[in-house]
DNA sequence: CATGAATGAGGGTTCATTCAT
DNA sequence: AATGAATGAACCCTCATTCAT
């Protein structure tokens, strides 16, 4: 199976021309979110998703060539939203290092808090295609670069630690069944990271 | 699953007293480790495990009532090993806070580095039974208590942050496809945690 | 899909060790014969075949990795039988050219008459794998060589014409919905071929 | 298919009187030829045919009530062309028997050589409706009658043998993956048939 | 106790056909 | 008339689990 094929297999099938079709595509994704969140990846069958979307399986397959492509679309959406929020939060001017960290953590927490169970399915429970993993890796790299640019030392390794730490903790918060209180979580994470950064400059 | 209780379903079928049976059980677990690591959870079929163990499926089901019970046994083993190593590392007396943290992190990293792919399957890829999640939660609680006992303030929340952080980062290190350098990872994690702890006392 | 894979895909799955398994394998093939003959290839579903064999689909797939492999096994059986009968018929010593031709045609007709509908499915209605086509081509070549060896001229082309003609007519006879009378068919085919051969020597 | 009669199902839906409609019908048939030749019957989906024809599926079904009716139309076209060519070839006055046979064979070969793959699909790969088979049988009968009328003996059986032989060989030539050389094929077939006919008069 | 053949519900996916726009 | 989105029965196949030997 050449790379091109894989690409094809993960991309939505058609650019709909009628507005109805567009709505259907959105409904499928919404339904998939709910179904995956409720049943997990394996038990989140395409038939169930179609049911939940109020359409037939056939229609589902008009828009997504297979089950994995639905998952991929969901992950892409999540990434896009995360990036958007993160940029908004950090670009909002503000002098102090700590303030920036706090805003970043808060933004990420909010994005992830939206649906914890879904997040778990997307990032932990499902077999991830290589192309998708690459995409995620790319995203992380740009985050590292962004942070490094803001550091006096410009040290990439320090930046990577920070990014990884925040990401880890946020994901852990989300993954946890009995989550810590969110406000406290933001406080402590901020202290953790800001302290570390201060010690490195 | 109507009649059988969950308890029953997750516990090995019989407590074998004969050594041969015990050896078989161990071989099954070893085989499962290899198969899951190689094929993932979904494709790690019970037939494959039996094959790998050099026994028949029927025999496999003599020792484990279902697939999940094998997974559970694997997780239990992992937990036990982790606890053991952690205790050994931290009880090895030593005055400095930082030294203790470093030893703890190192121990955890070693336990997890053993087989990343398997770890991923156990903790991310497979549907975890509720009872198992509870067990893991209990473990975390005792870790928190242990740490809190060592803190001057005795603050449980601080302890929880520390435990969560270390756990998160270690799991993240393992999960990552392009992992950070281990030595550096330990250094930075230690600095992060030790710094945080110092600021809290 | 490399060649090895294809090979794998067309070969029966396991050499059964218990006699029961052997019987099952035979029953599957018998059932497939009946089902294909009755419903054609497309409508001859694996579930139907399993039903007809009195087993479950799962069992069917223990012995044949996919639908096509069943078809291939059927074709192989047919080829083997044909070759056997043909050799028996022609090796039965006899001086006259015509007698040999007659016996060959008769043998082939008998082999094919067994089940016309099935023959159609095997050779006309179903997508034939490349490996199987090659096998058939090989068989034809050896038939051509055999005939050529018996010709005074030894002309390969004449031999090929003869083989093709007989094969064509027999298949046509079988394929026909309103078949010619078999005895007459043998007579005329013999005259046709024998005459042609006589004119070529 | 309860209510609709078979007749209805196989006849084009409407006799279009407008030229545009007629052109559309022709385009559908052309597209079907290409698609079937390329993908075979099963994979030659109606959607693909519509695409290839540059129209929508809906429109396709305006002209042909179902997939089979397209196939039938294709076969009818093929038959008509064959009959036309055959008549032209044999009516072209000429005294010798052999010359007539040769022209007939040549004509048939040419008709069939046009598109071997398509021919295979039409006559071997697709489930043929009963009505179509009847039509083909009728055609053969008239061919037999035609030949018989030219025979001194007028023997119908001889005529049938001739027709069957030529038809068989031509179809065989077409079906073959490694076809004989066409010129040689015509020569030998002519000799075969002419010799046979000569021996019968 | 061991074996491995048998089971069958259920999954992802296709495609001829219909119907709202 | 044309469009193309929607339908859903049916297909091939997998795999956890059972049970006769």
Query: pLDDT tens digits for C30-64?
Result: 999 999 988 888 889 999 999 999 999 999 999 99
**C-beta separation of A53 from A30 below 8 A:** yes
SS3 state of residue A112: helix
CA proximity to A189, closest of D50, B103, B157: B157
- What is the C-alpha end-to-end distance of chain A, expressed in Å? 49
Per-residue tokens: D70: 């397209």
Nearest CB to B177; choose among A133, A157, A160: A133
Q: Which residue of D has its CA nearest to C128?
A: D125
Residue D8 pLDDT exceeds 80: no
Question: Which residues on chain B place their C-beta less than 8 Å from a C-beta of chain A?
Answer: 40, 42, 123-127, 133, 137, 157, 160-161, 164-165, 167-169, 171-172, 177-178, 180, 184, 188, 191-192, 195-196, 199
- Confidence (pLDDT) at C2: 39
Question: With bands split at pLDDT 50, 70 and 90, how would you rate the model's confidence at A18?
Answer: low
What phi and psi values does residue B115 have, to the nearest 5 degrees? -145, 95
- Residue C195 CA to residue A37 CA, distance in Å, equals 79
CATH code 1.10.10.60 for D71-200: no
**C-beta separation of A122 from A133 below 8 A:** no
- List of B residues 116-145 with CB within 7 A of strand E: none
Say which range, A57-61, A90-94, B29-33, D119-123, has the weakest mean pLDDT: A90-94
A59 strand F contact, CB < 7 Å: yes
Per-residue tokens: D153: 């003996």
Rg, Å, chain A Cα set: 19
Question: With bands split at pLDDT 50, 70 and 90, how would you rate the model's confidence at C8?
Answer: low
Establish whether domains D6-68 and D71-200 are of one fold. Answer: no
Which whole number is the average pLDDT over C67-86?
Answer: 90
- Confidence (pLDDT) at A127: 73
B51 strand E contact, CB < 7 Å: no
Helices (H), chain C: 3-10, 19-43, 46-53, 57-63, 67-91, 97-113, 116-120, 130-150, 156-175, 182-200
| Helix and strand totals (H; E) in chain B | 10, 0
Question: Which residues on chain D place their C-beta less than 8 Å from a C-beta of chain C?
Answer: 40, 42, 123-127, 133, 137, 157, 160-161, 164-165, 167-169, 171-172, 177-178, 180, 184, 188, 191-192, 195-196, 199
For residue range B54-65, what is the model confidence (pLDDT) as tens digits? 999 999 999 999
- Confidence (pLDDT) at B93: 62
Chain A positions touching B36 (Cβ under 8 A) are none
Which whole number is the average pLDDT over B154-164?
Answer: 87
Q: Which residue of D has its CA nearest to C39?
A: D127
Rounded to the nearest angstrom, the gap between the alpha carbon of residue D49 and the centroid of all alpha carbons in its chain is: 20
Interface test with B, best of A37, A137, A139, A161 (most B CBs within 10 A): A161
Residue C27 pLDDT exceeds 50: yes
Question: With bands split at pLDDT 50, 70 and 90, how would you rate the model's confidence at C155?
Answer: confident
CATH code 1.20.120.350 for A70-200: no
CA proximity to D112, closest of D38, D45, D43, D186: D186
Rg, Å, chain C Cα set: 19
- Residue A201 CA to residue A61 CA, distance in Å, equals 53
Question: With bands split at pLDDT 50, 70 and 90, how would you rate the model's confidence at A178?
Answer: low
- Residue D137 CA to residue C177 CA, distance in Å, equals 9
Residue A1 pLDDT exceeds 50: no
Residue C157 pLDDT exceeds 80: yes
CA proximity to C119, closest of C63, C65, C176, C46: C176
Nearest CB to B172; choose among A42, A168, A188: A168
Which whole number is the average pLDDT over D56-73?
Answer: 95
- Confidence (pLDDT) at C46: 96
C-alpha distances in angstroms, D121 versus C26, C187, D39, D72?
A: 31, 32, 9, 12
CA A14 to C1' E17, in angstroms, rounded, equals: 21
- List of D residues 38-57 with CB within 7 A of strand F: 55-57
Tell me the domain boundaries of chain C. 8-68, 71-200
CA proximity to D110, closest of D78, D133, D139, D132: D78
Specify the CATH class of D6-68 in words. Answer: mainly alpha
- Residue D29 CA to residue D71 CA, distance in Å, equals 9
CB neighbour list of residue C150: distance below 8 Å, 6 or more residues apart: C100
CB atoms within 10 A of CB B129: 17
- What is the C-alpha end-to-end distance of chain C, expressed in Å? 49
Candidate ranges B82-86, D22-26, D89-93; pick with highest mean pLDDT: D22-26
Rounded to the nearest angstrom, the gap between the alpha carbon of residue A45 and the centroid of all alpha carbons in its chain is: 22
Residue with nearest Cα to nucleotide F6 C1': A59
Residue B124 pLDDT exceeds 80: no
Fold that domain C8-68 belongs to in CATH: Arc Repressor Mutant, subunit A (1.10.10)
- Residue D183 CA to residue D106 CA, distance in Å, equals 9
- Confidence (pLDDT) at C5: 44
Question: With bands split at pLDDT 50, 70 and 90, how would you rate the model's confidence at C3?
Answer: very low
Residue whose structure tokens are 């062309």:
D81
What pTM value is reported for the model? 0.81
For residue range C106-127, what is the model confidence (pLDDT) as tens digits? 999 988 887 878 887 887 777 7
- Residue B123 CA to residue B171 CA, distance in Å, equals 9
C21 strand E contact, CB < 7 Å: yes
Question: With bands split at pLDDT 50, 70 and 90, how would you rate the model's confidence at D103?
Answer: very high
- Residue B78 CA to residue B70 CA, distance in Å, equals 13
Report percent pLDDT > 70 for chain C. 86
Question: With bands split at pLDDT 50, 70 and 90, how would you rate the model's confidence at C6?
Answer: very low
C62 strand E contact, CB < 7 Å: yes
- Confidence (pLDDT) at D196: 92
What phi and psi values does residue B200 have, to the nearest 5 degrees? -100, -5
Residue whose structure tokens are 């030829």:
D33
Residue A8 pLDDT exceeds 70: no
- Residue B63 CA to residue C25 CA, distance in Å, equals 31
Residue whose structure tokens are 């052309």:
D30
- Residue C116 CA to residue D28 CA, distance in Å, equals 34
Which whole number is the average pLDDT over B13-17?
Answer: 59
Which whole number is the average pLDDT over C89-103?
Answer: 82
Chain D positions touching C196 (Cβ under 8 A) are 191-192, 195-196
Which whole number is the average pLDDT over B142-148?
Answer: 88
Give kind and range of the element (H or E) at residue B16: none
CA D9 to C1' F8, in angstroms, rounded, equals: 22
Residue whose structure tokens are 């018998």:
C30
- Confidence (pLDDT) at B19: 80
- The DSSP code sequence of C74-99 is HHHHHHHHHHHHHHHHHHS--S-HHH
Which whole number is the average pLDDT over A108-133?
Answer: 80
Eight-state DSSP code of residue B40: T
What phi and psi values does residue C156 have, to the nearest 5 degrees? -65, -35
Per-residue tokens: C177: 């919905």
CA proximity to D64, closest of D137, D130, D10, D138: D10
Helices (H), chain D: 6-10, 19-39, 46-53, 57-63, 67-91, 97-113, 116-120, 130-150, 156-175, 182-200
Nearest CB to C42; choose among D42, D161, D167: D42
* CA D174-D180-D181 angle, 5° bins: 110
SS3 state of residue D57: helix
Instruction: Report the mean per-residue pLDDT for chain A.
Output: 83
- Superfamily of domain B9-65 in CATH is Homeodomain-like (1.10.10.60)
Closest-lying nucleotide for B61 based on CA to C1': F17
The set of strand E positions with any atom below 7 Å of a protein CB reads 1-21
- Confidence (pLDDT) at D93: 62
Question: With bands split at pLDDT 50, 70 and 90, how would you rate the model's confidence at C16?
Answer: low
**Min CA distance, A93 vs chain B (Å)?**
27
- Residue A18 CA to residue D133 CA, distance in Å, equals 44
Report percent pLDDT > 90 for chain D. 35
Residue A11 pLDDT exceeds 80: no
Instruction: Report the mean per-residue pLDDT for chain D.
Output: 84
What phi and psi values does residue B96 have, to the nearest 5 degrees? -65, 140
CB neighbour list of residue C71: distance below 8 Å, 6 or more residues apart: C32, C36, C41, C122, C126
* CA A51-A56-A59 angle, 5° bins: 125
Residue B2 pLDDT exceeds 60: no
Specify the CATH class of B69-200 in words. Answer: mainly alpha
Residue A3 pLDDT exceeds 60: no
C-alpha distances in angstroms, C130 versus A136, C110, C117, C135?
A: 42, 27, 23, 9
- Superfamily of domain A3-68 in CATH is Homeodomain-like (1.10.10.60)
Residue A7 pLDDT exceeds 70: no
Nearest CB to A191; choose among B171, B177, B196: B196
Query: Where is pLDDT greater, at D144 or B115?
Result: D144
For residue range A85-115, what is the model confidence (pLDDT) as tens digits? 888 888 876 668 889 899 999 999 988 887 8
For residue range C167-196, what is the model confidence (pLDDT) as tens digits? 888 888 877 766 668 898 899 999 999 999
CB contacts < 8 A (A, B): 66
CB atoms within 10 A of CB B93: 7
Angle between helices A97-113 and A182-200 in degrees, nearest 10: 140
- Residue A200 CA to residue A162 CA, distance in Å, equals 11
- Confidence (pLDDT) at A6: 46
Closest-lying nucleotide for D44 based on CA to C1': E15
Give kind and range of the element (H or E) at residue C13: none
- Confidence (pLDDT) at A39: 87
Question: With bands split at pLDDT 50, 70 and 90, how would you rate the model's confidence at D16?
Answer: low
């Amino acid at each position: 199976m050449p790379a091109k094929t894989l690409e094809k297999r993960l991309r939505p099938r058609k650019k709909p021309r009628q507005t109805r079709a567009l709505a259907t595509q959105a409904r499928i994704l919404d339904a998939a979110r709910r179904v995956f969140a409720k049943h997990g990846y394996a038990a989140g069958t395409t038939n169930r998703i179609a049911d939940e979307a109020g359409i037939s399986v056939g229609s589902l397959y008009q828009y997504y060539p297979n089950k994995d492509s639905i998952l991929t679309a969901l992950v892409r959406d999540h990434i896009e939203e995360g990036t958007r929020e993160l940029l908004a939060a950090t670009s909002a001017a503000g002098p102090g290092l700590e303030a920036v960290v706090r805003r970043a953590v808060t933004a990420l927490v909010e994005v992830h808090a939206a649906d914890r169970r879904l997040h778990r399915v997307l990032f932990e429970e499902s077999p991830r295609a290589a192309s998708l993993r690459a995409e995620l890796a790319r995203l992380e790299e740009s985050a590292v670069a962004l942070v490094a640019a803001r550091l006096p030392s410009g040290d990439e390794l320090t930046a990577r630690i920070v990014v990884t730490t925040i990401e880890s903790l946020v994901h852990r918060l989300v993954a946890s069944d009995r989550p810590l209180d969110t406000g406290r979580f933001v406080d402590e994470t901020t202290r953790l990271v800001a302290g570390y950064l201060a010690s490195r400059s």
